[in-house]
Structure 1
């Protein structure tokens, strides 16, 4: 092949002569020859190298990296490509963050650039190194604070007070916050899912119940326990059903929070009474405990029946629960255990009888006085 002058190479490749001269100056593509008039002359091998340059550039490699790769073909290509891939990943993350911020700012830009600048200033305060500044920004700027910035505070801020301020600010977001929170946090780490359960409970939105029911089954006990707490905050039939399904959770941390939630929500008496016949002793025991916390007189007969349960822990839980149930029927059931052959049951029954008598004495005196 006849050597080509720089103009012909530029025409055939679509590159500018300035680019080819720059490659020459860098030592990336030095023409193999010069004409008598000192024009650059490119051989076939030069054009092959130029094609290789363009291929490597298409991977996003810098010109210096391309030169090193071509000048040392036996070098560690895998390491170079891995490092470059890591750089690309970092740039993608940064670009995604920028994209999210631009979209957030676009929502604030409907009235003009003043609102955009205000939103940027608020965003900077939410990222301020001083916790007090971040705290005030979340509280005072909740109406215009970018959703993504508040979520980031809730997810990662080291200060509990700042996270709580971000939680409150997110509860002031317009309708649709439940779905957006799920998208932003559900697929994150344990801390992100814990934050999601926390803010969903604070929202008190029935639409959050299915999400909290899912988090109640989370592999992280702290997340599941926070979901139970959130379901107790929201209440309703869906929340009760989800909590009842977790009565037999193997983790004591979760069971304790489930019990506390069921003790305070409306509509739990009937499913709890049904649960005292569950095949699992753990479920029967916890159902009895919660019925005691609810102190509903109607649960007395079911709890009295559990005093004959084959499981000792269930019997003990039922006796403890009866101690919190008002009425003579519960009292008689307790008195029936004061001579129990089981020492712990006997001692507890006697203490409960004494407590009920001590409580009843002032009431009787007050009744006589009136």
Structure 2
């Protein structure tokens, strides 16, 4: 079979067949009287073998070894081809993602495209300073796609850069909360943590709703960050988690502050007081936990709290009793309108309003009981 017919039947161009001949991959068995290449059936089978191996991504050098070297085994080569293919797919996927993000930003001209590309590259820089500057400038310059900001925020390990990215997301348009919510389900704990922290800094209602959903997240860290954010927003659902944080000594000061904010609602104040009092009453709790709960009562107004503090001022645990007595003294001073020193329920003179007890570290709640 002459080269032209082989080319038509095999789909391999005559030029490539000549190239195979020059490399020694397929040498035609014979030639015609006129000097034209003439391929046998065995030659044509070899051509199809070559094309099959090339379709797997093998180079012509590797194809030659595979066909002619008896000691050449496919396993190592196939593994290498798999690795190369994965790298190529990853590169193409990255390019596709970049193109989509540029398209999402709806640039007006090539200048905008170049600016977006520069910012995207800066967000992926190895320099923390460069990433931070990119995050801060993303709000003022041509819009960086929110998907890029979310991805950067979920993967950022430097705390300063992470803070800048959370700030940038808080200024971004709609779409960020839903993307961050996907991060809450990540198998990586740090990604879940970054997602909830980013949501906590977003003031809109969509973020608040997602934070409420996060109270049921299997990850305890996620639940606690969500509770702190929701407490500051006056969401009552956060109360049980916040009380548990005080008990477990996990960000207990911030948790107590959040409970204090929620207690601005008289109905919630009673609910919070009851929850704290019920926990203090547990005989299995450590002294340190009961002390923290007693301190948390300092910022909860209402008669229920005052009655509980009066009882706790006679508690068998001396530290708990002193803490409760001190808080009662401060509440009494505020009730009477005093702003200097006052007698405390345990006897003796208490410190000036607004000061912290030198031994107990209790803050002046600054509220009427």
Q: Deviations over 1:60-108 (max 9, x none)?
A: 3333332222223663323222221121111111111111111111234
Q: How many angstroms apart in 2 are the aligned matches of 1:138 and 1:362?
A: 47
Alpha-carbon distance change, 101 to 337 in structure 1, aligned in 2, over 3 angstroms: closer
Match of 2:145 in 1: 146
Alpha-carbon distance change, 44 to 195 in structure 1, aligned in 2, over 3 angstroms: same
Q: How many angstroms apart in 1 are the aligned matches of 2:106 and 2:337?
A: 72
Q: Deviations over 1:166-200 (max 9, x none)?
A: 22112222122212333477436333222211211
Task: Give the alignment of 1:303-318 within 5 angstroms.
Answer: 303=277, 311=284, 316=290
Match of 2:188 in 1: 189
Deviates most, 104-113 or 349-358 = 349-358
Alpha-carbon distance change, 33 to 311 in structure 1, aligned in 2, over 3 angstroms: same
Match of 1:229 in 2: 228
**Residue 133 in structure 1 maps to residue 130 in structure 2:** yes
Note if contact 1:201-1:233 (Cα within 8 Å) is conserved in structure 2.
no
Match of 1:166 in 2: 165
Unaligned runs of 5+ in 1: 278-286, 289-302
Alpha-carbon distance change, 215 to 35 in structure 1, aligned in 2, over 3 angstroms: farther
Match of 1:17 in 2: 14
Report the alpha carbon displacement of residue 141 of structure 1 after superposing the two structures with TM: 2.8
3-state SS, counterpart of residue 201 of structure 2: helix
CA RMSD across the alignment: 4.1
Task: Give the alignment of 1:213-228 within 5 angstroms.
Answer: 213=212, 215-216=214-215, 221-228=220-227
Note if contact 1:185-1:196 (Cα within 8 Å) is conserved in structure 2.
yes
Match of 2:25 in 1: 28
Alpha-carbon distance change, 117 to 324 in structure 1, aligned in 2, over 3 angstroms: closer
Match of 1:180 in 2: 179
Q: How many angstroms apart in 2 are the aligned matches of 1:246 and 1:359?
A: 23
Note if contact 2:20-2:26 (Cα within 8 Å) is conserved in structure 1.
yes
As a proportion of its length, which structure holds more helix? 1
Alpha-carbon distance change, 71 to 245 in structure 1, aligned in 2, over 3 angstroms: farther
Match of 1:88 in 2: 85
State how many pairs are aligned: 334
Corresponding residue to 1:104 among 101, 104, 122? 101
Report the alpha carbon displacement of residue 363 of structure 1 after superposing the two structures with TM: 7.5
Q: Deviations over 1:207-237 (max 9, x none)?
A: 234543555555655444434334345553x
Alpha-carbon distance change, 26 to 208 in structure 1, aligned in 2, over 3 angstroms: farther
Unaligned runs of 5+ in 2: 341-369
Match of 1:51 in 2: 48
Report the alpha carbon displacement of residue 203 of structure 1 after superposing the two structures with TM: 1.0
Match of 1:353 in 2: 325
Note if contact 1:190-1:223 (Cα within 8 Å) is conserved in structure 2.
no
**Residue 203 in structure 1 maps to residue 213 in structure 2:** no
Note if contact 2:150-2:176 (Cα within 8 Å) is conserved in structure 1.
no
Alpha-carbon distance change, 148 to 229 in structure 1, aligned in 2, over 3 angstroms: same
Note if contact 2:262-2:269 (Cα within 8 Å) is conserved in structure 1.
no
